[in-house]
């Protein structure tokens, strides 16, 4: 009897943390909504049906969720559009690690489309009615230890990029405005004041659990082509960013 109780207690102790770490449907949906707002603000996505209720099919698989929606976006001149999301439970909260969009009538049967759809409907799914936010004004989390570490890596990644391919840096470093971000953002942005360049800093790596660039401990930095996108991003960076001096490493 005592041995049986001990075995049951040990089983509960072993199963408790794993169950607590599993992703829930509510967490996955919240991560999706945050990503929709990121896309609207920083990527200028005009198609998401903000303020409306949309249908999302969701399959949970431990710490990962796969989501599929065919009415989340209204894309002009496209009769049927599908959005596919992957959400992962990370230490600082659930985050979207992959998002794809498909013109259903053109891309049905293509390997990527079928793969993304199959991983949602491979087994039991939940159909959920999700109310998308009506407004997407950014709200930034305070500087947690994770975010502080990410900010430091943003600075060092910018320094490496400037030394590698950026225009020659003046003595004393480069004044840049770096946009604020949240740990679940896929990327953030910076504005180089002496050249007018706008830069993307990718915060996701091949390791979806890493906040610090995966094995390389570095974020990918790429320039944004001059034009309307860069102009809009510059305005956002100036509004939501802070100025810092980046020195070469």
Sign of CA pseudo-dihedral 135, 198, 143, 38: positive
55-112 confidence digits (pLDDT tens): 999 999 999 999 999 999 999 999 999 999 999 999 999 999 999 999 999 999 999 9
* Domain extent for 222: 145-246
Q: Which of 107, 113, 114, 83 is nearest to 96 (CA)?
A: 83
pLDDT tens-digit map of 154-197: 999 999 998 887 666 667 689 999 999 999 999 999 999 989 99
Q: Are residues 78 and 157 in the same domain?
A: no
Q: Distance between CA atoms of 119 and 67, rounded to whole angstroms?
A: 9
Check residue 8 and give its pLDDT.
40
Over the chain, what is the mean pLDDT? 89
Read off the tokens for 194: 């002496």
Same domain, 153 and 186: yes
- For residues 114 and 91, the answer to whether their CB atoms sit within 8 Å is no
Among residues 163, 141, 107, which one has the least CA distance to residue 211?
141
Contact 169, 178 (CB under 8 A): no
Give the pLDDT confidence score for residue 19 in this predicted structure: 42
* Domain membership flag for residue 15: no
Q: How far apart are the first and last CA of the chain?
A: 65
pLDDT of residue 168: 66
Chosen domain end from 106, 131, 156: 131
Domains of the chain: total = 2
């Amino acid at each position: 009897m005592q041995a049986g109780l001990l075995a049951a207690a040990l089983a509960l102790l072993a199963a408790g943390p794993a169950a607590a770490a599993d992703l829930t449907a509510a967490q996955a949906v919240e991560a999706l909504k945050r990503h929709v707002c990121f896309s609207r603000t920083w990527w200028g996505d005009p198609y998401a049906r903000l303020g409306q209720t949309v249908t999302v099919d969701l399959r949970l698989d431990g710490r990962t969720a796969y989501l599929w929606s065919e009415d989340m976006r209204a894309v002009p001149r496209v009769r049927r559009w599908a959005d596919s999301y992957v959400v992962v439970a990370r230490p600082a909260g659930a985050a979207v690690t992959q998002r794809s969009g498909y013109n259903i009538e053109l891309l049905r049967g293509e390997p990527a489309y079928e793969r993304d759809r199959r991983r949602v409907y491979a087994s039991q799914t939940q159909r959920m009615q999700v109310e998308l936010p009506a407004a997407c004004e950014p709200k930034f989390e305070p500087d947690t230890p994770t975010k502080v570490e990410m900010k430091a890596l943003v600075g060092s990644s910018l320094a490496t990029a400037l030394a590698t391919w950026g225009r020659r840096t003046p003595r004393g470093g480069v004044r840049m405005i770096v946009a604020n971000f949240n740990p679940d953002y896929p990327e953030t942005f910076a504005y180089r004041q002496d050249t007018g360049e706008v830069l993307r800093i990718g915060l996701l790596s091949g390791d979806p659990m890493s906040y610090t660039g995966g094995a390389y401990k570095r974020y990918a930095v790429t320039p944004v082509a001059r034009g309307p996108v860069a102009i809009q991003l510059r305005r956002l960076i100036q509004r939501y960013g802070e100025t810092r001096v980046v020195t070469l490493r």
